[in-house]
Structure 1
Amino acid sequence: MNRTTLSLFAGTAALAAVTAFAAAAPPPASGAVPRAAARLPVERTSLVCPAPSGSDLAETTYTSFTPVTKGAASGGGARLQAAGVQDAGGGKGKKAGKPVLTPKAPGSPATGDTSGGDAPALVGTADGSLAPGWTVQETTEVSAGTGRGLLGVACAGADTDFWFPGASTAAGRTDYVHLTNPDDSAAVVDIELYGKDGAIKAPLGENLTVDPGTSDAILLPTLTEERQAGLTVHVSVRGGRVGAAVQALDDKAGGDWLAPAAEPAGSLVLPGIPKDATDVRLIAFTPGDDDADLKIRLASPDGLITPAGNETVHVKAGMTASVGLGDVTRGEPGSLVLTPADQAVPVVAALQVERGKGDKRETAFIPATAAVGTRATAAGNGAKDTTLALTAPGGTATVKVTASAGSEGGTPATKTYTIKSGTTQDVDAPVPTGLKGTYALTVEPVSGGPVHASRTLTGAGTAFTVQTLPTDHGLVSVPQTEEDLSIVQK
């Protein structure tokens, strides 16, 4: 039997199947309104966590949490385990067989810990009931040395494009770009640097290969001889996917993780500057061909105000702008809101924030972040070391916040808050009754305008770390489909 005959039989069978289905379920009448896409729980989530620290004094805790999601699949599981380590010759280290943690069920945090400077990057996957909104927090305490203090990062999914305003190659800073490839094929990556005068030559950052299932940490000063503070790092993936984060370590001012900034946009929100911040610096970059002029406003507890002497910032195309805002919050919590002064030009931005003074300074970063959306979660909270900041830049919003059960015991608790338009509030977040261990906070807007959020953890002295709370991607839009007989007539 030749291919023409097979194709004819296949087409006839397809037509018969479609016709039979149409007879059983006739299409809607002409002019009927199409059904909206359904929002359904995701069935699989993958995350990567960067290697936490090179310090022998590092103590790291991982906390995993999945919110209970209506309609989620039953069963499933989740696990975090070590990625391989890529050496200078492109070789791959061994994977640890034992998972760092293994979550049991939605609604209950799971924890794991490690110590020392040899802890690897982690790769994790959750499916079934544990997939929708799966969140993992990596928190590290370093008691002394470069980058001492509290370092925190929310483990994130792999992607192909990342922006990091706020990195540095200046003396006194030791910044690494961590790249982790969770997939079964190699990823090819370019690292581009942009300073105050534009693109910086960094040929060693081109065409980097990250082997399957491995992680690599690239020291920024090895890519260029330029020594500048306030750089923008662009990680662009030519092939494959990676997870990416920048570890920024300072000899005198502690350090933290710099998470990727929100995608370039004309208006940006950088939420949750601590009320006791002693110094705040804005770093912004526009990747396009047009300059950007931005209005700078602070969303305070009483509304939007313009910082005296820093009403606007001019960002030249392809160049990084840096603006010192000092102690802009003046003892009150706040969020920075950037909007176009004229035409909207896409920009990326982050804040470098310090607490304390002199040799007791500590540093954290707040990248611009998307609104919470349907839901966002922050894991790894303690009863007395957590501050939740909520801001509603464009309209009053009602927000529900739920504290999960504790990792070792406790009963969930929920509170609802109203955030007035243009304000930031450090809310009195709920704590589980009878808390033992750590817990998670889940933020869900109920009504009103968009809400942006961040969570601050504090440690000994002035040590702190800030994580923003964009959507947890627990739900995905699934389009409604209808049969269409016209396709077999073409």
Structure 2
Amino acid sequence: MKSTHLSLIAGAVALAAITGFATVTAPDGPAAPEAKAAALLPVERSSLVCPAPSGSDLAKTRYTAFTPAGEGGDGEAAAELRPALPVPDDEDMTDPKKAKKAEEAAAKARQKAEKPLLAVKEPGTPVVAEADGSAAPALVGTATGRLAPGWSAQQTTEVSAGGARGLLGVSCTAPDTDFWFPGTSTAKSRQEYVHLTNPDDTAAVADIELFGPEGVVKSEVGDGITVPGRSSVALLMSTLTDEAVDRLTAHVTTRSGRVGAVVMSADDTAGSDWITASQDPSGTLVMPGIPADATAVQLIAFAPGEDDADVKVQLLGKNTAFSPAGNATLHIKSGMTAAADLKDVTRGEPGSLRLVPVEKDRATPIVAALRVVRGSGDKQEVAYIPATGPVGARASVTDNQTKGSTLSLTAPGAEAEVKVTASAGSGGGEPSVETYTVKAGTTLAVTPKAPQGLKGTYALTVETTSGGPVHASRSLVRTGGGVQMFTVQTLPDDRGTVAVPSARQDLSVLDD
């Protein structure tokens, strides 16, 4: 036995010696080319989906789409949003007369969907379309070539009265397979719909899980939801469970295919708006753009993993960062939704909220969002700010007008400099550029400089030019019925570029 071990050791030493010798005395020849970093190239294709804007006959909706000026792909290009196909009611299909009418309506809808509602022709100029009433459609679309990098779209809906009163704004989303929505509810005072939109030709199958302050909320109808190809479905949250829970986190995943997912929330007393998905679970989160005149701010957070999370709650204000009195930290139990009432935390100054681990070496991933209220009594209006990633290289947001837009920029770490470009107007006007410095640990709220000679609406493009990461959001304000209605959209990186690894031909792999 000993001799066998010695033989193996001797063989290994000899092999190591030979290998080392071969490495040191490799024959002369051309040196292998150095490995190059992956090149960042413009994307050549991107997809967006927009939910059906409203169920109110009083709704007035404006769709806007935009691709920022810059280098894109060569050859043919298109960026078009088309109406989604209707989903027939199962009950109608069992009645011959109703089924015939449903099929006729579907045929007309398919014919209508062949024509784009919104089509960007050139980078740098937004396009606009409008629709009134509850029949305004959900949209699905694709951008290719030079119109794909940074392609963005938004729908802004104003409802002047009724249970859905308010200004509802949502950036059209890229389809995905996993979404987290802290801040949803099945309370009797709120009516909320989960909108699932499928951009592909084949059906997608989705699941919806609900988590409340006590953990999982039982739901027997949230599994296996079929979303037909190029269609959109809306599910009333309160029909997913028998429990009325005020503070929920909804988790949408797909078993097959992909969807765009957003939640429309209407409150009996505070108006309505869209709840968009939080940034993917992370140990540190930033929610930018709390208005200076916010009268109530509620933080909702959820820890999806097996560990509890303890986080510091920090407001990044106009001049400094501080922890709100009585809410310096938040304990989030695993699998349970936690909330903190921050009241009028901004105290007359704009701000952003940051969550960081209490212990740096224990960064438990979480998701989070803010429910923000302006006004009081019957003059209240609500909006939601989800945790969002940094602007990164570039991000854009559409549907800005001469008045009513505020851009919030926050630098949670190091000081940063950003360039903000106001595009040409949809009906005319020259682009304008401003540069801003955001001090570390603060929030800068600015009124964008509109394009000279603006006609129509314009887009804002934010680029980080130096310093640390910057998180951003844009708020829109409209006055209707004596109410200062508002909505907030975040500006994460538009992912207009993709890393493409370098490659070279290597015929040596064919040698024996």
Say whether the fold is shared (TM-score over 0.5).
Answer: yes
Q: Distance in 1 between matches of 2:355 and 2:142?
A: 36
Q: How far is 1:74 from its partner? A: 4.4
- Give the counterpart letter for 1:311 in structure 2: A
The counterpart of 1:29, out of the listed 21, 28, 31, is: 31
* Alignment correspondent of 1:77: 78
Let me know the Cα RMSD of the aligned residues.
Answer: 1.4
Q: Distance in 1 between matches of 2:173 and 2:264?
A: 15
TM-score (norm 1): 0.92
* Alignment correspondent of 2:254: 237
The counterpart of 1:156, out of the listed 157, 173, 189, is: 173
- Give the counterpart letter for 2:301 in structure 1: A
Quick check: 1:449 aligned with 2:468?
A: yes
Quick check: 1:350 aligned with 2:369?
A: yes
Alpha-carbon distance change, 386 to 28 in structure 1, aligned in 2, over 3 angstroms: farther
Alpha-carbon distance change, 482 to 250 in structure 1, aligned in 2, over 3 angstroms: same
Please tell me whether the aligned partners of residues 145 and 251 of structure 1 are also in contact (alpha carbons under 8 angstroms).
no
- Give the counterpart letter for 1:468 in structure 2: T
- Give the counterpart letter for 1:29 in structure 2: A
The counterpart of 1:390, out of the listed 409, 428, 432, is: 409
CA-to-partner distance for each residue in 1:147-181, whole Å, 9 max, x for gaps?
21100000011100000000000011000000011
- Give the counterpart letter for 2:292 in structure 1: K
Look up the SS of the partner of 1:221 in the other structure. Answer: helix
Which entry has the higher C-alpha Rg, 1 or 2?
2
Q: How far is 1:75 from its partner? A: 3.6
Q: How far is 1:354 from its partner? A: 0.4
Look up the SS of the partner of 2:221 in the other structure. Answer: helix
Q: How far is 1:211 from its partner? A: 1.0
Please tell me whether the aligned partners of residues 100 and 113 of structure 1 are also in contact (alpha carbons under 8 angstroms).
no
Q: Distance in 2 between matches of 1:365 and 1:270?
A: 10
Q: Distance in 2 between matches of 1:87 and 1:189?
A: 18
Quick check: 1:435 aligned with 2:435?
A: no
The counterpart of 1:283, out of the listed 297, 300, 307, is: 300
Please tell me whether the aligned partners of residues 67 and 152 of structure 2 are also in contact (alpha carbons under 8 angstroms).
yes
Q: How far is 1:483 from its partner? A: 2.2
The counterpart of 2:398, out of the listed 348, 364, 379, is: 379
* Alignment correspondent of 1:14: none
Alpha-carbon distance change, 195 to 109 in structure 1, aligned in 2, over 3 angstroms: same
Q: Distance in 2 between matches of 1:400 and 1:439?
A: 16
Please tell me whether the aligned partners of residues 83 and 121 of structure 1 are also in contact (alpha carbons under 8 angstroms).
yes
1:122-133 correspondence to structure 2 within 5 Å: 122-133=139-150
Look up the SS of the partner of 1:294 in the other structure. Answer: strand
- Give the counterpart letter for 1:105 in structure 2: E
Please tell me whether the aligned partners of residues 72 and 145 of structure 2 are also in contact (alpha carbons under 8 angstroms).
no
Look up the SS of the partner of 1:203 in the other structure. Answer: coil
- Give the counterpart letter for 2:231 in structure 1: T
Please tell me whether the aligned partners of residues 147 and 253 of structure 1 are also in contact (alpha carbons under 8 angstroms).
no
Q: How far is 1:108 from its partner? A: 0.6
* Alignment correspondent of 1:57: 58
Q: How far is 1:113 from its partner? A: 0.5
Alpha-carbon distance change, 202 to 68 in structure 1, aligned in 2, over 3 angstroms: same
1:307-346 correspondence to structure 2 within 5 Å: 307-342=324-359, 343-346=362-365
Q: Distance in 1 between matches of 2:131 and 2:61?
A: 5
* Alignment correspondent of 2:10: none
* Alignment correspondent of 1:43: 44
Tell me which stretches of 4 or more aligned residues in structure 1 moved more than 6 Å: none
- Give the counterpart letter for 2:80 in structure 1: R
Quick check: 1:224 aligned with 2:224?
A: no
Look up the SS of the partner of 1:440 in the other structure. Answer: strand
Q: Distance in 2 between matches of 1:454 and 1:45?
A: 22
Q: How far is 1:471 from its partner? A: 0.8
Look up the SS of the partner of 1:467 in the other structure. Answer: strand
* Alignment correspondent of 1:480: 502
Alpha-carbon distance change, 28 to 260 in structure 1, aligned in 2, over 3 angstroms: farther
Q: Distance in 2 between matches of 1:299 and 1:230?
A: 25
Q: Distance in 2 between matches of 1:338 and 1:227?
A: 28
Quick check: 1:203 aligned with 2:220?
A: yes
Quick check: 1:172 aligned with 2:189?
A: yes
Single out whichever of 118-127 and 274-283 deviates more from structure 2: 118-127
- Give the counterpart letter for 1:39 in structure 2: L
CA-to-partner distance for each residue in 1:17-72, whole Å, 9 max, x for gaps?
xxxxxxxxxx9724x54111111111111100000000000000011110012253
Q: How far is 1:125 from its partner? A: 1.2
Look up the SS of the partner of 2:35 in the other structure. Answer: coil
Quick check: 1:267 aligned with 2:284?
A: yes
- Give the counterpart letter for 2:303 in structure 1: T
Look up the SS of the partner of 1:462 in the other structure. Answer: strand
CA-to-partner distance for each residue in 1:110-152, whole Å, 9 max, x for gaps?
0000000121210111111211100101000000011211000
* Alignment correspondent of 1:408: 427
TM-score (norm 2): 0.88
Please tell me whether the aligned partners of residues 195 and 230 of structure 1 are also in contact (alpha carbons under 8 angstroms).
yes
Please tell me whether the aligned partners of residues 149 and 459 of structure 1 are also in contact (alpha carbons under 8 angstroms).
no
Q: Distance in 1 between matches of 2:31 and 2:441?
A: 46
Over the matched positions of the two proteins, sequence identity in percent amounts to 57
Quick check: 1:182 aligned with 2:199?
A: yes
CA-to-partner distance for each residue in 1:355-409, whole Å, 9 max, x for gaps?
0001110000000000011100010001111000000001000100000000111
Q: How far is 1:430 from its partner? A: 2.0
Quick check: 1:103 aligned with 2:105?
A: no
Please tell me whether the aligned partners of residues 376 and 470 of structure 1 are also in contact (alpha carbons under 8 angstroms).
yes
* Alignment correspondent of 2:312: 295
* Alignment correspondent of 1:214: 231
1:236-255 correspondence to structure 2 within 5 Å: 236-255=253-272
Q: Distance in 2 between matches of 1:60 and 1:277?
A: 25
Look up the SS of the partner of 1:129 in the other structure. Answer: helix
Quick check: 1:424 aligned with 2:425?
A: no
Single out whichever of 85-94 and 142-151 deviates more from structure 2: 85-94
Q: How far is 1:213 from its partner? A: 1.2
Look up the SS of the partner of 1:141 in the other structure. Answer: strand
- Give the counterpart letter for 2:289 in structure 1: G
Look up the SS of the partner of 1:279 in the other structure. Answer: strand
Q: Distance in 2 between matches of 1:302 and 1:168?
A: 35
Q: How far is 1:486 from its partner? A: 4.1
Alpha-carbon distance change, 195 to 441 in structure 1, aligned in 2, over 3 angstroms: same
Please tell me whether the aligned partners of residues 41 and 69 of structure 1 are also in contact (alpha carbons under 8 angstroms).
no
Look up the SS of the partner of 2:499 in the other structure. Answer: strand
Q: How far is 1:230 from its partner? A: 1.6
* Alignment correspondent of 1:5: none
Please tell me whether the aligned partners of residues 401 and 430 of structure 1 are also in contact (alpha carbons under 8 angstroms).
no
Look up the SS of the partner of 2:187 in the other structure. Answer: coil
